[in-house]
């Protein structure tokens, strides 16, 4: 039985409640029914990945969490607050940041302007200096046009921009897609540092070998629902099963 059937139950006495709890989430693009009862949870300070084939519903799940799907139903609770009926701007103000796969860099703005454009929605956001410490390239390219950066630098800018806002739950959609191995390693080190600083991260990732280096747990998504959960410590022992899920 996949964990989807049980993961929304209250946390046992003496354990922390999930920071993010999704139960029976459904979502549509127009008349197309994409999510069919997504259920999973993420604990404070965890890095959790959503793994699955293209079209499984991973990105739709991210968009549904942040509230930018036109139609959704079910339950999405963040830090105990039900958000399913909230507008996306109000969800973001709770402390959730979303980095889409396409990154959303503004071509008419410099790196510095892109970095400082989003408002701070919660206290505790990283300063520009702290972001430059994480991503020295952004300091060096501060005056450059945002879309003139390399793909890796654009990904750094997209993540850095969210860190300024005060978000504590980060939704990262395919952060390593198309990047050189050396940049993938840098993104991995950054995720590790953010986790050590108390951030909670949900990661959509095709590269499960990269996911293995950063995540605590992996949820496998098929046809708009979670069909399995694999702790990172058990990933190697379940590699054949994972290959079957992913069609590797």
**Beta strands 96-99 and 169-173: pairing type?**
parallel
Task: Tell whether the model's pLDDT for residue 12 goes beyond 50.
Answer: no
Q: Where are the domains of the chain?
A: 3-95+168-246, 107-165
pTM beyond 0.75, yes or no = yes
CB atoms within 10 A of CB 173: 22
Q: What confidence score (pLDDT) does residue 247 get?
A: 81
Fold type of domain 3-95+168-246: Rossmann fold (3.40.50)
Per-residue pLDDT at 149? 86
CB 91 within 8 A of CB 83: yes
The span from the CA of 244 to the CA of 119, in Å, is 43
Q: Is the pLDDT of residue 8 over 70?
A: no
Give the whole-angstrom CA distance, residue 4 versus residue 162: 29
> Are 155 and 191 in contact, with CB atoms under 8 Å apart?
no
Tell me the average pLDDT of the chain.
Answer: 89
Which uninterrupted H or E stretch holds 20?
strand 20-29
How far does Cα 163 stand from its chain's mean position? 13
pLDDT digits (tens, 9 = 90+) for 42-55: 999 999 999 999 99
pLDDT value at residue 6: 34
């Amino acid at each position: 039985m996949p964990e989807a059937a049980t993961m929304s139950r209250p946390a046992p006495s003496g354990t922390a409640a999930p920071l993010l709890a999704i139960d029976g989430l459904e979502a549509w693009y127009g008349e197309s029914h994409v999510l069919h009862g997504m259920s999973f949870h993420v604990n404070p300070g965890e890095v959790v990945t959503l793994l699955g084939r293209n079209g499984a519903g991973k990105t739709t799940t991210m968009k549904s969490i942040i509230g930018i799907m036109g139609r959704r139903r079910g339950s999405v609770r963040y830090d105990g607050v039900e958000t399913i009926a909230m507008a996306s701007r109000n969800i973001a103000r709770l402390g959730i940041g979303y980095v889409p796969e396409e990154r959303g860099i503004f071509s008419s703005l410099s790196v510095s302007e892109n970095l400082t454009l989003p408002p701070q929605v919660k206290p505790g956001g990283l300063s520009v200096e702290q972001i430059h410490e994480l991503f020295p390239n952004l300091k060096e390219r501060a005056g450059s046009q945002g879309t003139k950066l390399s793909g890796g630098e654009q990904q750094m800018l997209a993540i850095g921009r969210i860190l300024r806002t005060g978000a504590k739950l980060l939704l990262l959609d395919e952060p390593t897609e198309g990047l050189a191995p050396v940049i993938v390693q840098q993104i991995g080190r950054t995720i590790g540092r953010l986790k050590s600083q108390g951030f909670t991260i949900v990661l959509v990732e095709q590269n499960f070998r990269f996911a293995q280096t950063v995540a605590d747990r992996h949820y496998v998504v098929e046809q708009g629902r979670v069909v399995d959960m694999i702790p990172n410590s058990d990933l190697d022992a379940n590699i054949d099963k994972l290959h079957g899920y992913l069609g590797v």
